[in-house]
Amino acid sequence: MKKADLRKELIKTREALTKEELIEKSGICVKKLEKLFLEYLGKYKNNILKVCAYYPLNNEIDLREFYVKLLKKEYDTKELELKLLFPRVDKKKMNFYIVNSFDELEKGNFNVMEPKKFCTEVPDIDNAFVITPCVGIHKDKVRMGYGGGYYDRYFADKKNNYLLGVSHDFAKELDFEYEAYDIKMDSII
């Protein structure tokens, strides 16, 4: 199956999930994410960690429960401060912005919740923990997004980040043709 056709099929399957199924699957992923994140924190050596996140859209895995803990500083220590960032697309270019509350998000391009204009941009994401939404994930951990290439372009030359791909179980371990520019995830949940 061609990548574009597979993408449509996966989105259709995802959108058919019931609210109860989505809540259950999201809860499982939040637990996996917390475990993985705590392991990552144990190895992290800097005093500020940027956590790049996404706001769920169209039955994507919902990790807001985890984001709330970040916003409440539940993972911060004397030695480590965490910054939660969300992407915003301006003129076909994606950048990340610090968000201190969900109130600082508004509906933007593609109906995605994005940081408001007053949020502080972080121009160069480096040594960040990046939570990446995936329509599907290849068995080689290569991400399939919506086809716009925003994440691929943004992280193509930023190799010092930890990329975590998030997708439903039915959309993992897939076999599809991918391009050299498609980014590979470090881990998937």
How confident is the model at residue 105, as a pLDDT? 98
How confident is the model at residue 21, as a pLDDT? 97
- Pick out the chain residues at pLDDT < 70: none
**What pLDDT digit, counting tens, does each position of 31-41 carry?**
999 999 999 99
Amino acid 10 reads L
How confident is the model at residue 45, as a pLDDT? 84
Phi, psi of 23 (to 5 degrees): -60, -45
Burial class (CB in 10 A: 0-12, 13-18, 19+), 49: buried
Distances (CA, A) of 153 to 7, 8, 162: 19, 22, 16
How confident is the model at residue 20, as a pLDDT? 97
Strand partners, 144: 136
